[in-house]
Structure 1
Amino acid sequence: MSAAEAHLCRGCRSTRGQVVLDLGDQPAADHFPLATDPGPDPRHPLAMWWCADCGLAQLLADATVPDEPRAIEPRAAVRQAHEAVAELVGAGLLVPGGFIEFASPHGGSWRGALEECGFRPAQGDRAGVVIDVYGLMHDRDQAAGLRARAAALTDDGTLVLQFPTYAATVRRREWNALRHGHFAYHSVPAARRLLDAAGLTAFAARTYSLYSGSVLLLASRSGAGPATEAAALDELERAELAAGVLDPTAMAALGAALEDDVSRLRRWVDDQPGGAWLYGAGSRAVAVLAAAGLRPGAVAGIADGAPAKQGRRMPGTDIPVVAPEALLAADPDHILLMLPDLADELRDAWPSMADRWVVYGSH
């Protein structure tokens, strides 16, 4: 890449960095063709670039156009929203008042959880609490995105920023976390640097198991907060540094994991008589199934509760996305769950099938 073509960091505009994961040409994770569409589906370069200056892992390039959001919010995400708001208010880290929420294409909202605890939507364009849960990662320009969130804060306001942490991606070697439309993969140290550049300072953090591992940061202009919270935040940052979020050598394991994951998937599918059954047509499943190149008909179907995905097929494959009723009617002995966050929800919904779920990554 020439100097004229050098990638500019989406956060700090540096050109110092390197590609740490390259998946080649992949179908867009949000483009679900109709089941009757024979393809071939468009494919686009998909690579992750890491900035050596601010530490932000990010999408190198993206020529795709966002498609209609088709996912539905898992019960685990709704529960976490209510638990997080109640805990932050109880700890005195948030004070009920007006709020502004930056929407996420992942769907869902914290509005209900906030209103239960006495918050109300702000009447103007600034608020004492600004919420961003899984939204910022979808901004091509990360610096501009954070400036917009900072501008929505009152002078003494608090930003609540939640993201799937890149530390979990590196620890778990989740190469399939990379997808078109997700422009940033935040770690605590990188997020703190970007917040500082936007005039905000993180003063507290919480961690959650949602989406393989998520972090919630609280930030304000003053950065004032309890000393115990600051110490816990610093400890979380040290743990993420130890995981390798600023070490491109550690990130090399992401690419090495791809073939292992795909090989395990192929073996599991081949062992299922009459065609395998899967559940959860999420973006991470798109990457895995497109990379696996399974033989035609190897997967009987992938069930998903989102009506907008049903009647379509997984991008880059012949695998049909069907309603859960089709899976129940097939009554398979084993079902590969591609979205681990749904495990408890599905076992509760269909107790007679509770022992048939095989969670992706453990198969």
Structure 2
Amino acid sequence: MTGRCRACSGAVLHTVLDLGMVPAADDFPPSARPTPAETTHPLRMVRCAQCELAQLAEDDTVAAEPRGVEPQALRDQAVDAIARVDAAGLLRGNTIIEFGSPHGGSWLPLLAERGCTEADAAQADLVLDCFGIMHEPDQRAAFAARAAAVAPDGVLLLQYHTLAAIVAQRQWNALRHGHFAYYSLHALSSALADAGMGVTTAWEFDLYGGTVLVAARRGPVAPDHTVLEILSRERELITWESLRRLQRFVDDHVRALRNWLIDAAAAGERVYAYGAASRAVALLSLAGAHRGLVAGVADVAPAKQGRRMPGTDIPIISPRELIAAAPDRVLLTLPDLLGEVSSGLPELDGRWFLDDPRGPRKGGVDDGTPSCYSIPTATPPWAARGQQFTSEGQPHR
């Protein structure tokens, strides 16, 4: 393909996943706007042969996604992450600069409780980016900007959804417009090195099936054993072959969801969904979902209510409207929300189904998290050599 790598300007980019023409993932039209008026846009992931960054090939969308409400799972993870960083002695100094994410949420209030204040200068002792940098089309410039904001003895904390989790858990619909990069620690380390920084340590979390938070310092630094362990695992998990398998998983996932929806309709059961998430846009659109199969998608964000899912006529409603509808089944588009919605919407107990690449599966709560994505083990789920897990936490046979 033509074009240059967003991080290293490498000229050799290989396509690993192509979803064709799909609606913009950040354009939730008003319900009154006719569906035929929508445009579709190419959606393709490529990988640089030089620095190994997986990235969005092109993006001609211009819509701004209505601001969502930060899920409890993200808030809980932020508390956990800050505690781990503090325990490692890396909450240094007392000034901070945060590069935010358009999806909402901030760690600043939590860090303020630990004595950090927003810097009134160009540099800070602590620079934070939580899921923000993936939204930058120019990855080289984005890494340079974050490195420049770090004081000489400061620390950069950067959190990302790992490519290893996307591959191991078949999360092909993590590919979306507006998300320009999908990081392995190899690619991230390379981009940071080009910006004059080195990764010193990392922490792993179950969020989104596999999230990594790295700490980086100025200059060449020696990575610790955790970093080396993640890098080693990645070499086995992320290969050209495993990346290209994502293409096959698209058809499998779409077919499984379509059949599940048709079977429910044939049985006279009314299906709703919860979570007007960007990753549900391509899935519902490619599955040919419509109001006859999914009567509505509930979302807690007021800015999304009264709109509809792109490429479909499915309205976005409030959680209260979802309860009033008394659905037979509720498809949870973001499994990380299971604990939150189960406790917050007890009226729907027993009706939750988790969206899964093999098809929707019954959702249950043991420890407040969906065990198909979060199992009680010292090894993160995405590191389990590509295995998928049942709701009881056992590998699929």
TM-score, normalised relative to structure 2: 0.86
1:76 aligns with 2:110: no
CA shift in 2, pair 1:354/1:116, >3 Å: farther
Larger displacement relative to structure 2 (324-333 or 154-163): 324-333
Which residue is equivalent to 1:10?
6
**Structure 1 residue identity aligned to 2:76:** R
1:153 aligns with 2:150: yes
Superposed counterparts of 1:95-174, under 5 Å: 95-174=92-171
Q: What is the alpha-carbon distance in structure 2 between the residues aligned to residue 296 and residue 152 of structure 1?
A: 48
Q: Deviations over 1:148-193 (max 9, x none)?
A: 0011111111100001111111111111011011000011111001
Q: What is the alpha-carbon distance in structure 1 between the residues aligned to residue 290 and residue 88 of structure 2?
A: 53
1:219 aligns with 2:219: no
Q: What is the alpha-carbon distance in structure 1 between the residues aligned to residue 209 and residue 181 of structure 2?
A: 16
Which residue is equivalent to 2:42?
45
Q: What is the alpha-carbon distance in structure 2 between the residues aligned to residue 224 and residue 192 of structure 1?
A: 11
Shift of 1:353: 2.5
Q: What is the alpha-carbon distance in structure 2 between the residues aligned to residue 45 and residue 97 of structure 1?
A: 44
Q: What is the alpha-carbon distance in structure 1 between the residues aligned to residue 228 and residue 61 of structure 2?
A: 37
**Does structure 2 retain, via aligned residues, the 8 Å contact 1:304–1:321?**
yes
1:305 to 300, 321, 326: 300
1:344 aligns with 2:336: no
**Does structure 2 retain, via aligned residues, the 8 Å contact 1:85–1:117?**
no
2:231 to 219, 234, 237: 237
- Aligned residue pairs, count: 354
Unpaired runs of 5+ in structure 1? Answer: none
**Structure 2 residue identity aligned to 1:58:** Q
**Does structure 2 retain, via aligned residues, the 8 Å contact 1:30–1:66?**
yes
Which residue is equivalent to 2:260?
268
Overall identity of the aligned pairs, in % = 46
1:65 aligns with 2:59: no
Which residue is equivalent to 1:197?
194
2:26 to 20, 26, 30: 30
Q: What RMSD, in angstroms, separates the aligned Cα atoms of the two structures? A: 1.4
**Does structure 2 retain, via aligned residues, the 8 Å contact 1:100–1:130?**
yes
Shift of 1:350: 2.0
Shift of 1:123: 1.9
Q: What is the alpha-carbon distance in structure 2 between the residues aligned to residue 97 and residue 295 of structure 1?
A: 52
Q: What is the alpha-carbon distance in structure 1 between the residues aligned to residue 192 and residue 289 of structure 2?
A: 43
Q: Helix, strand or coil: the match of 2:66?
A: coil
Q: Helix, strand or coil: the match of 1:47?
A: strand
Q: Deviations over 1:119-168 (max 9, x none)?
A: 11112110011000001001111010000001111111110000111111
Shift of 1:224: 4.8
Shift of 1:296: 4.9
**Structure 2 residue identity aligned to 1:232:** T
Unpaired runs of 5+ in structure 2? Answer: 362-397
Which residue is equivalent to 2:177?
180
Shift of 1:250: 1.3
Q: Helix, strand or coil: the match of 2:21?
A: strand
Shift of 1:94: 2.2
Which residue is equivalent to 1:258?
250
Which residue is equivalent to 1:325?
320
Superposed counterparts of 1:269-308, under 5 Å: 269-272=261-264, 273-294=268-289, 296-308=291-303
Q: Deviations over 1:250-295 (max 9, x none)?
A: 1111110011111111122123325311100101111100110135
Q: What is the alpha-carbon distance in structure 2 between the residues aligned to residue 26 and residue 211 of structure 1?
A: 23
**Does structure 1 retain, via aligned residues, the 8 Å contact 2:334–2:355?**
yes
Q: Helix, strand or coil: the match of 1:196?
A: helix
Q: Could you list the structure 1 runs, at least 4 aligned residues long, displaced by more than 6 angstroms after superposition.
A: none
Q: What is the alpha-carbon distance in structure 1 between the residues aligned to residue 138 and residue 319 of structure 2?
A: 38
Shift of 1:207: 1.0
Which residue is equivalent to 2:391?
none
Q: What is the alpha-carbon distance in structure 2 between the residues aligned to residue 281 and residue 212 of structure 1?
A: 19
